[in-house]
Chain A
Amino acid sequence: MPKVLIVAETKGGAVRKPTLEVLSKARAAGLPTAAVLIGGGVKGRADALAGQGAATVYVADDASLADFSLDRYAAAIQDAAQRAGATQIWLSVSEMTKALAPALAGRMDGAYVSDALALEIAGDELTVTRPAMATKVLQKVKFAKPGLRIVSIRSGAFDVTPAQPKAATVVDLPLPPADTRVVLKQVLQEETGEVDLGEAAMVVSVGRGVKGPEGVELVRPLAKLLGAGFGSSRAVVDSGWMPYAAQVGQTGRVVTPDVYVAIGISGAIQHLAGMSGSKLIVAVNKDPDAPIFSVADYGIVGDLFKVVPVMIAEIKKHKG
């Protein structure tokens, strides 16, 4: 019987939804689960994790851990995994875990598979379905030998089972030593703090077609009106009109919202890799041959500078 350690992520004082999704999956599969929680002022979140089935929550809570440090976080997770007797470590896919998960594999001689869209669990067998080749194919990957297994799971792959917080059994971990070899000097661009792209039910995204910051501001009210996350293609981020945190695509965030509205985005494969899993896609583009229309459920061929204001007005009418 596998024993799973789940790496919890928090944001703004709450447990992130992808963490709850991962916990829910482990619970649904009937696997004994523990969690590890690292950060500054995060200990209070342990009960939420216990409510989702984590029998024990290992905590490393210190102001010095508020900023992500690969070395220190990996050390704390390794400690928790050894104490828990974990045979598997599950993480949700995020900028942090893209490096953290394989780093753990190297440190702990673990086998690692990233970006799970589905998991098939049968006793000690674990098979992962994941996208590859810029999502042009799906791979079914099996953990073929015994030994530690590490999996990162795409947000939206699993549903959150509603649960009540429960008193957690907390084990405080000793603080990992400071990392002198990688020192964070500065963060140049903070995340905007608006609706988190990875967790939003709707996302509105802008592409090069918006032509500049004024075009971005034309579309922003649409995102606000829908309570949507506001994202963009890479071209817009490279031009400096939106922060990197907004970037959707192979080189940015992969999002799986219920509704994705692509405004002035052509739909290059690198962008599609980041949003083609969305349930419903609406696209606005001047070019009738834009590749985005091959994935859009509703495509509007037109000038976004004319279309977007009309969209906003019409949606207001429907929302009442």
Chain B
Amino acid sequence: MNILVPIKSVMDVELNIRVKDGRVVEEGINYILSKWDENAVEGALQIKEQVGAGEVTVVSVGPDRAGESLRKALAMGADKAIHVNDPAAEGSDSLGIAKILAAVARKGAYDLILTGKQAQDTDQGATGPILAALLDWPLAVNVQSIAADAPSKLTVQRLGHAGKEVLEVTLPAVLTANDSLNEPRLASLRGIMQAKKKPFEALKLADLGIAPGDVGAAGARVQVVEILPPAGRAAGKKFEGEAEEITRQVVALLADEAKIFA
């Protein structure tokens, strides 16, 4: 089972994010492997272990810092890394990224593409579904469990509109990972050492047969014009004291001040 895991290096959103002059302030920002992509790496490793054969290849489209996330995935146990590191790819929208990933996918012989359900910076969840459409592969998003118990089919549990769905998905397919899929393993020191010897391929757009104008900021059909701080909330009132007393107080305020029981 050969699995391709697209990953993204993103700003750590757990940190204090500051906005100035229409952009996020870069100073003091850490870049990390987007957490749902980390679940995808772990998911791929577990499937490989379940099946007992195959390779896990991680791929990332991004500048130099994406290399760190790729190395982390290799240290976790991925077999190969592909880094599409081309300035002409900078500023790509989801469609652009998906086109690049589709070209990477077509260069190999993958049975499964597993990626995070959304990236921690955009929270859009577009890349996986667009990639599936470009390749004309079946898609299941927000996946909670994956079982490779039949050849060329996966039994997948996902969280959908109506509740937990059990799906049978024919390979090759694209799946996106929910964080309840697994608890990602920590890279061991041995893993980190071994990662340095694993195949790490750096590619340019030309290697994938992609014209620069098709992707990147030049080709982007969607552009972020401005970043703004979120709409603020006025400070609220906090009540401490004897439980019955303060509850009575608050309910009275909700009735008289906020008027929510009308």
Partner of A181, one of B121, B170, B180: B170
Q: Which A residues touch B243, using CB under 8 A?
A: 302-303, 306-307, 310
Interface centre among A68, A139, A295 (most CB of B within 10 A): A139
Q: Is B169 part of the binding interface, using a Cβ–Cβ cutoff of 8 Å? A: yes
Minimum CB distance partner of B134 in chain A: A106
Minimum CB distance partner of B240 in chain A: A301
- Secondary structure at the A interface, as helix, strand, loop or mixed, is mixed
Q: How far is the CA of A98 from the CA of B128 in the complex (A)?
A: 11
Q: Which A residues touch B170, using CB under 8 A?
A: 180-182
* B246 x A187 contact (CB < 8 A): no
Q: Please, what's the 1-or-0 string for B157-173, where 1 marks a CB less than 8 Å from any CB in chain A?
A: 10111111111111001
- Secondary structure at the B interface, as helix, strand, loop or mixed, is mixed
Min CB–CB distance B32 → chain A (angstroms):
13
Q: How far is the CA of A27 from the CA of B143 in the complex (A)?
A: 37
Q: Report how many A-B pairs have Cβ atoms within 8 Å.
A: 263
Q: How far is the CA of A66 from the CA of B262 in the complex (A)?
A: 38
* A136 x B230 contact (CB < 8 A): yes
Q: How far is the CA of A102 from the CA of B161 in the complex (A)?
A: 17
Partner of B238, one of A143, A188, A243, A288: A288
* B161 x A68 contact (CB < 8 A): yes
Known: A94-B161, A183-B168, A298-B253. A102 touches B236 (CB 8 A): no
Min CB–CB distance A284 → chain B (angstroms):
8
Minimum CB distance partner of A192 in chain B: B163
Q: How far is the CA of A182 from the CA of B165 in the complex (A)?
A: 11
Q: Is B255 part of the binding interface, using a Cβ–Cβ cutoff of 8 Å? A: yes
* B130 x A102 contact (CB < 8 A): yes
Min CB–CB distance B217 → chain A (angstroms):
9
Partner of A310, one of B132, B164, B247: B247
Question: How many residues on the B side are at the interface (Cβ–Cβ under 8 A)?
Answer: 81
Q: Is A29 part of the binding interface, using a Cβ–Cβ cutoff of 8 Å? A: no
Q: Is A170 part of the binding interface, using a Cβ–Cβ cutoff of 8 Å? A: no
Interface centre among A95, A238, A258 (most CB of B within 10 A): A95
Q: Which B residues touch A299, using CB under 8 A?
A: 236-239
Q: Is B190 part of the binding interface, using a Cβ–Cβ cutoff of 8 Å? A: no
Min CB–CB distance A93 → chain B (angstroms):
11
Partner of A102, one of B129, B221, B240: B129
Q: Is B54 part of the binding interface, using a Cβ–Cβ cutoff of 8 Å? A: no
Q: Is B95 part of the binding interface, using a Cβ–Cβ cutoff of 8 Å? A: yes
* B229 x A138 contact (CB < 8 A): yes
Minimum CB distance partner of B258 in chain A: A280
Q: How far is the CA of A302 from the CA of B226 in the complex (A)?
A: 41
Q: Which residues of B in the span 121-175 have a Cβ within 8 Å of any Cβ on A?
A: 121-134, 138-142, 155, 157, 159-170, 173
Q: Is B222 part of the binding interface, using a Cβ–Cβ cutoff of 8 Å? A: yes
Q: Please, what's the 1-or-0 string for B222-237, where 1 marks a CB less than 8 Å from any CB in chain A?
A: 1111111111011011
Name which of A42-50, A79-87, A159-167, A312-320 contacts chain B: A312-320
Partner of A111, one of B95, B167, B180: B95
* B129 x A314 contact (CB < 8 A): no
* A138 x B228 contact (CB < 8 A): yes
Partner of A106, one of B98, B169, B239: B98
Q: How far is the CA of A134 from the CA of B188 in the complex (A)?
A: 30
Q: Which B residues touch A311, using CB under 8 A?
A: 247, 251
Minimum CB distance partner of B127 in chain A: A102
Q: Which A residues touch B223, using CB under 8 A?
A: 141-142, 144
Q: How far is the CA of A269 from the CA of B123 in the complex (A)?
A: 13
Known: A282-B254, A314-B251. A191 touches B13 (CB 8 A): no
Min CB–CB distance A274 → chain B (angstroms):
11
Q: Is B252 part of the binding interface, using a Cβ–Cβ cutoff of 8 Å? A: yes
Min CB–CB distance A241 → chain B (angstroms):
15
* A307 x B225 contact (CB < 8 A): no
Q: Which B residues touch A90, using CB under 8 A?
A: none
Q: Which residues of A in the span 123-161 have a Cβ within 8 Å of any Cβ on B?
A: 127, 129, 131-145, 147
Q: How far is the CA of A46 from the CA of B149 in the complex (A)?
A: 43
Q: Which B residues touch A127, using CB under 8 A?
A: 225
Minimum CB distance partner of A304 in chain B: B243
Q: Which A residues touch B244, using CB under 8 A?
A: 306, 310
Name which of A17-25, A55-63, A213-221, A244-252 contacts chain B: A244-252
* B260 x A202 contact (CB < 8 A): yes
Q: Please, what's the 1-or-0 string for B170-209, where 1 marks a CB less than 8 Å from any CB in chain A?
A: 1001000011100000000000000000000000000000
Task: Give A residues with C-beta under 8 Å from B.
Answer: 67-68, 70-71, 74, 94-96, 98-99, 101-107, 109-115, 127, 129, 131-145, 147, 179-191, 202, 238, 243-245, 250-251, 258-259, 269, 273, 276, 280-282, 288, 293, 295-303, 306-307, 310-311, 314-315, 318-319
A-B contact pairs, 28 of them (CB 8 A): A71-B138, A95-B159, A132-B227, A133-B120, A134-B13, A135-B230, A139-B224, A144-B220, A144-B223, A182-B167, A182-B169, A183-B167, A186-B166, A188-B166, A244-B159, A276-B233, A296-B236, A297-B234, A297-B236, A297-B237, A298-B258, A299-B236, A299-B237, A299-B238, A299-B239, A300-B239, A303-B243, A314-B251
Known: A301-B239, A318-B261. 14 other contacts (CB 8 A): A95-B161, A101-B126, A132-B123, A139-B227, A140-B228, A147-B221, A182-B167, A187-B163, A187-B164, A190-B162, A258-B260, A281-B233, A295-B233, A319-B261
Closest 8 pairs between A and B when the two form their complex, measured CB to CB: A106-B133, A111-B221, A189-B163, A106-B130, A181-B138, A102-B129, A314-B251, A188-B164
